[in-house]
C-alpha cells in the first residue's frame, strides 16, 4: 500500500472520486472543534488568526458524504491528543499498516520534521491536549466568524462538541472580532473550481497506476512460471 500524508486542507476536495476507484487508498480524516480551528495561529504569522470558518463549511460536507465508506476513517483531533496510544490501536485495526515502531505518545522522541513543519510548530514537542477548548479565550473571534459565515450549532451538536443549543449564551455581550484571517475570508471560486476539477484527474491517475501495476505483476508471475 502506498502512503500519502497531507496537511493541506484543500486536498479534502480531491479525495472523493479517488477513494471510490482506488482500493488501496485509505483516508484518515481529522476532525476538530471548528471553534478551536478558527482560533489557531501559525508560526509564520503569529499576529493573525490563520483560517476562518469558510474551510469548515467547505470540508465538513465531504466527511458527511464519506463517513460510512469502509476505507474512510474519521478521527477526532481531541481524542488523538488526549489518548494518542489508544488512537494508534484503533488505526492499526482499521488500516493495513506495517509493524509498529513506536507509540504515538512517544512521537516527540523520534520525529524528524521538515523545516516548514518546524516553522509552523516552533519545535517538536510531546502531543498535548492544551489547545482543546482554547476558543473560550477567544470569544470575540468566534462571535465574529459566526456573524461572517453563519451559525455552526447544528454541526457542533451532530459531532458531539455541544449537547444543547444553549452554548451560544457564552457569546452574549461579546463584541465580534471581524478582522480577516491570514487566508482569504471567503472562498476563491476559481481556486475551488480548479481543485474540484483536479479530483477527477487524480482519480484517473490512480486507476491508470493500478492497471499498470496489475499488468506488471501478471507479467512477472508469467515470467517466473
> What per-residue confidence (pLDDT) applies to 124?
76
- Residue 2: pLDDT band by 50, 70, 90 thresholds? very low
Contact 53, 184 (CB under 8 A): no
> What per-residue confidence (pLDDT) applies to 108?
82
Lowest mean pLDDT among 4-18, 32-46, 79-93, 111-125: 111-125
Q: Which three cell numbers stand for residue 137?
A: 479565550
- Residue 120: pLDDT band by 50, 70, 90 thresholds? low
| Range of 23-27, 162-166, 187-191, 198-202 with top mean pLDDT | 162-166
Q: How far is CA 66 from CA 89, 145, 214, 224, in A?
A: 22, 26, 27, 41
> What per-residue confidence (pLDDT) applies to 203?
87
- Residue 188: pLDDT band by 50, 70, 90 thresholds? confident
pTM of the model: 0.84
Q: Which residues of 55-72 are buried (b: 16+ CB within 10 A; e: fewer)?
A: bbebbbebbeebeeeebb
Q: How far is CA 113 from CA 34, 110, 124, 155, in A?
A: 26, 10, 8, 33
> What per-residue confidence (pLDDT) applies to 122?
61
DSSP states along the chain: --------GGGGGGHHHHHHH-TT--EEEEE--HHHHTT--BTTBTTS----HHHHHHHHHHHHHHTT-TTEEEEEHHHHHHSHHHHHHHHHHHS------S-GGGHHHH----HHHHHHHSS------TTTTGGGG-HHHHHHHHHHH---HHHHHHTTS-SSGGGGGGGTTPPP--PPPSS-SS--HHHHHHHHHHHHHHHHHHHHHHHHHHHHHHHHHHHH-
* Percent of the chain scoring above 90 in pLDDT: 53
> What per-residue confidence (pLDDT) applies to 119?
62
Arithmetic mean of pLDDT, 112-132: 75
Amino acid at each position: 500500500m502506498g502512503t500519502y500524508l497531507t496537511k493541506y486542507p484543500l486536498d479534502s476536495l480531491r479525495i472523493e472520486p479517488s477513494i471510490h476507484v482506488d482500493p488501496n487508498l485509505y483516508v484518515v480524516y481529522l476532525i476538530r472543534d471548528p471553534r478551536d480551528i478558527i482560533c489557531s495561529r501559525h508560526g509564520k504569522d503569529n499576529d493573525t488568526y490563520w483560517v476562518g470558518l469558510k474551510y469548515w463549511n467547505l470540508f465538513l460536507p465531504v466527511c458527511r458524504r464519506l463517513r460510512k465508506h469502509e476505507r474512510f476513517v474519521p478521527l477526532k483531533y481531541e481524542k488523538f491528543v488526549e489518548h494518542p496510544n489508544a488512537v494508534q490501536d484503533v488505526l492499526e485495526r482499521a488500516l493495513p499498516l506495517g509493524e509498529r515502531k513506536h507509540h504515538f505518545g512517544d512521537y516527540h522522541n523520534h520525529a524528524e520534521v521538515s523545516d516548514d513543519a518546524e516553522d509552523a510548530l516552533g519545535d517538536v514537542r510531546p502531543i498535548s491536549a492544551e489547545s482543546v477548548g482554547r476558543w473560550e479565550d477567544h470569544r470575540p473571534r468566534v462571535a465574529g466568524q459566526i456573524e461572517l459565515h453563519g451559525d455552526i450549532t447544528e454541526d457542533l451538536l451532530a459531532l458531539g462538541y455541544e449537547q444543547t443549543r444553549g452554548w451560544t449564551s457564552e457569546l452574549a455581550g461579546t463584541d465580534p472580532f471581524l478582522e480577516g484571517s491570514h487566508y482569504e475570508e471567503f472562498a476563491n471560486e476559481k481556486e475551488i473550481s480548479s481543485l474540484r476539477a483536479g479530483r477527477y484527474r487524480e482519480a484517473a491517475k490512480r486507476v491508470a497506476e493500478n492497471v499498470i501495476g496489475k499488468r506488471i505483476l501478471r507479467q512477472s508471475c508469467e515470467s517466473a512460471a
